[in-house]
Amino acid sequence: MEARSIDVAVLGGGAAGLMAAIRARRHGASVDLLEKNRRCGAKILISGGGRCNLTTTREGPALLASFRGAQAAFLKPSFAALSPQRLRAFFEEHGVETVEEELEKVFPAADRASVVLDALLAAAEAAGVVIHTQCAVQAIEQAEGGFRIRHAGGEVLARRVILATGGKSWPKAGTTGDGYAFARTLGHTVTRLFPALAPLHTPDLVWRALSGLTLTTCAVSVEEADGTLLRFERPVLFTHEGLSGPGPMDVSGTVEARGGATVSIDLLPAIAEQDLDALLAERARKGVPHVDGLLPDGIPQRLRPVLLQRAGIASGTRAGELPREARRALSSILKRLEFKIPKSLGFDQAEVTRGGVALDEVNPRSLESLIVPGFHVVGEVLDIDGPIGGFNFQAAFATGWAAGDAVARALHSA
């Protein structure tokens, strides 16, 4: 049987692939989307606790500053083509009203991730994208006039390819990192891969005993290998394995990349350490009987004995008898409660992959490879990972959008 011949093959039917396919087809290209799973969009459905935090309210420089290192400059043209506001407008045009929530997150008003996926599938169908599910791509090679793609059901010939196979996090959703091998075969560099946005593991049983405790107003920080401090004012949840919640998950990629790191929690981000020390001294002077009563009201009861113990202060010590050094040690611990974290809970529980197809080998405007003309790379398979808060979908949708437009432009001008 002769291989089917098309303009564009999109490999992977997640956020990036679906958006790329819709855009390319709307510009008139014939598009086949090949998806390994029985359905497209497995990660859309499980995202945001089944509610899909599809983007953020951050725009412009603040949006770009949310991405580390070279990622910001790379994403600039994609976000110029599809900003968070424009993405929300796209979904509203397709019947999905969106709402803003805390931490600048945007969700569908219907509170169900399925409305996001249904809108994308309806848009793809209306445009005329041909979707092949249960169609795992096995190999890609350059061929006369484009690419030959071998998949579970045979072969397809495409003038251009958009690689949108995602990362290797949460492999039970079908993302087992296949795309990295395809990119390598075509000559691309894949940077080291680490789990990111994963809960943190701590061997220290003192912390695990606090399982269930949540800190809502705190800041979590870690140092990057180059000394840059990453700091997130976001909640923390103590679990029986360690630390979870947005703050710890946001620093997990760096913990992994450094092979373990010290993570620090600032329990009172609104007050400077010096002012805190003065406040504790004032409380002691005002006649709080015991040192336990010195701690500011927002500090949870369950955490108090651990903090005192870490500061080397016996519970029940009379506040007025607390030496200045001990009081300073307590202020310091309240501002920098340190955890030696050896690792995260790994790819199985990571929401994204840090690392991927090297950004300096891809044109940021067209997402086209600088090594293999006609080969475009979008979404999480790229060396892109953002923090929690809709940034990863925003990056996937925007790179998909820009690549879809670019392939159509290239085909028209050919």
Ligand X SMILES: Cc1cc2nc3c(=O)[nH]c(=O)nc-3n(C[C@H](O)[C@H](O)[C@H](O)COP(=O)(O)OP(=O)(O)OC[C@H]3O[C@@H](n4cnc5c(N)ncnc54)[C@H](O)[C@@H]3O)c2cc1C
Where helices occur in 204-245 by DSSP H, the ranges are 205-208
Instruction: Calculate the alpha carbon distances from 46 to 32, 173, 198 in Å.
Output: 25, 9, 15
Helix axes 114-127, 42-50, angle to 10 degrees: 150
CA distance 172 to 178: 13
CA distance 31 to 8: 5
CB of 265 to ligand X, least distance (A): 23
Nearer Cβ to ligand X, position 175 or 331? 175
Q: Which residues contact 118 (CB under 8 A, 6 or more apart)?
A: none
CB of 77 to ligand X, least distance (A): 17
Nearer Cβ to ligand X, position 47 or 66? 47
Nearer Cβ to ligand X, position 49 or 69? 49
CB of 380 to ligand X, least distance (A): 4
Nearer Cβ to ligand X, position 55 or 264? 55
CB of 152 to ligand X, least distance (A): 8
Nearer Cβ to ligand X, position 210 or 237? 237
For residue 59, give the amino acid letter: E
Nearer Cβ to ligand X, position 44 or 236? 44
Other beta carbons within 10 angstroms of residue 48's beta carbon come to 22
Nearer Cβ to ligand X, position 96 or 337? 96
Nearer Cβ to ligand X, position 71 or 169? 169
Q: Which residues contact 61 (CB under 8 A, 6 or more apart)?
A: none
- Output DSSP code: residue 221: E
Q: Count CA atoms closer than 13 A to 236's CA, side-chain side.
A: 29
Nearer Cβ to ligand X, position 110 or 281? 110
CB of 390 to ligand X, least distance (A): 5
CB of 112 to ligand X, least distance (A): 13
Kindly state the helix (H) or strand (E) to which residue 160 belongs, with its residue range. Answer: strand 154-163
Nearer Cβ to ligand X, position 42 or 115? 42
Nearer Cβ to ligand X, position 156 or 319? 156
CB 263 within 8 A of CB 248: yes
Which among 258, 221, 254 has a CA at the least distance from the CA of 236? 221
Beta strands in 202-298 (DSSP E): 214-215, 219-223, 229-232, 236-238, 242-244, 261-266
CB of 105 to ligand X, least distance (A): 8
| Phi, psi dihedral angles at 52 (to 5 degrees) | 60, 95
CB of 92 to ligand X, least distance (A): 18
Interface residues toward ligand X, by CB under 6 A: 11-17, 34-37, 40, 42-43, 46-48, 52-53, 136-137, 164-166, 169-170, 174-175, 178, 351-352, 379-380, 390-393, 396
Instruction: Calculate the alpha carbon distances from 305 to 202, 283, 299, 401 in Å.
Output: 19, 18, 11, 53
- Output DSSP code: residue 193: -
| Phi, psi dihedral angles at 400 (to 5 degrees) | -60, -45
CB of 20 to ligand X, least distance (A): 9
CB of 400 to ligand X, least distance (A): 7
Instruction: Calculate the alpha carbon distances from 20 to 124, 125, 159, 292, 366 in Å.
Output: 10, 13, 15, 58, 11
Where helices occur in 101-231 by DSSP H, the ranges are 114-127, 178-185, 205-208
CB of 173 to ligand X, least distance (A): 6
